[in-house]
Amino acid sequence: MTKNTRKVPTKGGLKFTTAFAVLMTTATLSQTALADEQQAAIERGKAASALCMVCHQADGSGKHVTDGESWPRLAGLNHEYLAAQMHAFKEGTRDNPSMNGFVQMLNDEQIQDLALYYESLPATAGEAPEVSEEVLALGEKLATRGDWDRYIVSCQSCHGPGNTGVGAHFPGIAGQHAGYLSAQLKHWQANERSSDPQELMASVARRLNDEDIEAVSAWLATQPATYTAKE
């Protein structure tokens, strides 16, 4: 082996390093710009959320009104999912007298800002009714294992580990208010919600009876909204 073949190509190497450094700086800069833009959107969303607080509360926790409506927790839900649902109310694939008027006031940018704001808030606990251990056990079974005899797939097979949600399309349902969860399942059964294009949820909901709905909603509401792996 001659010395020559082992010579380091200093000039080319330097050029490469410079180009790489420039590239990295540009990437870091645009990342900072993106973070700034996101933060500005969150701030705008926070200001706009004054409209929503009366129901969804200042911390985004929502509230279950006994013998009344259940206002869902928005805090910590995926922003693309939240935005899609606001558009669904606007377009009429979801219908709720409390929500309809409010979403009509929002343009696309405000919807995006509000969605980013609510996603940025820490998730709060769900409100669950007092039910027996047997009811909770049925709920846990449906949510985590399903019921193959009745062709019911477990909720977590779509809603992810701990039913805490996967990406933009499968929302977290653990730690959501039981009253809201059961209302949605009944909306699907009655064809009153058609916001999911593949009708994935409608076909799940149609296989559930009233007992199942009570049980799975109650159990899910007692569960943490964020996933931590168990040993």
What is the contact surface with ligand HEC in residues (CB under 6 A)?
51-52, 54-56, 69, 71-72, 74, 77, 82, 85-86, 94, 96, 98-99, 102, 114, 142, 153, 155, 157-159, 169-171, 173, 181, 183-185, 195-196, 200-201, 204, 216
**Which contacts (CB < 8 Å, 24+ apart) does range 135-139 have?**
135/211, 135/214, 135/215, 135/218, 135/219, 136/215, 136/218, 136/219, 136/222, 138/211, 138/212, 138/215, 138/216, 138/219, 139/215, 139/216, 139/217, 139/218, 139/219, 139/220
Annotated binding site for heme c: 52, 55-56, 99, 155, 158-159, 201
Binding-site residues: 52, 55-56, 99, 155, 158-159, 201
SS3 label, residue 140: helix
Q: How far is the CB of 49 from ligand HEC (least distance, A)?
A: 6
Interior CA angle at 109 toward 123 and 163, to 5°? Answer: 25
**Residue with smaller CB distance to ligand HEC, 77 or 123:** 77
Q: Which is nearer to ligand HEC, 69 or 140 (CB)?
A: 69
Chain centre distance of CA 197: 17
User: 192, 99 in Cβ contact below 8 A?
Assistant: no
Closest approach of Cβ 144 to ligand HEC, in Å?
10
Cβ 173 to ligand HEC shortest distance, Å = 5
Q: Min. distance of Cβ 6 from ligand HEC in angstroms?
A: 59
Question: 74 or 128: whose CB is closer to ligand HEC?
Answer: 74
State which amino acid sits at residue 122. Answer: P
Of 28 and 157, nearer to ligand HEC (C-beta) is 157
- How far CA 220 is from CA of 46, 53, 144, in Å, comes to 28, 24, 10
Closer Cβ to ligand HEC, 1 or 46, answer by number: 46
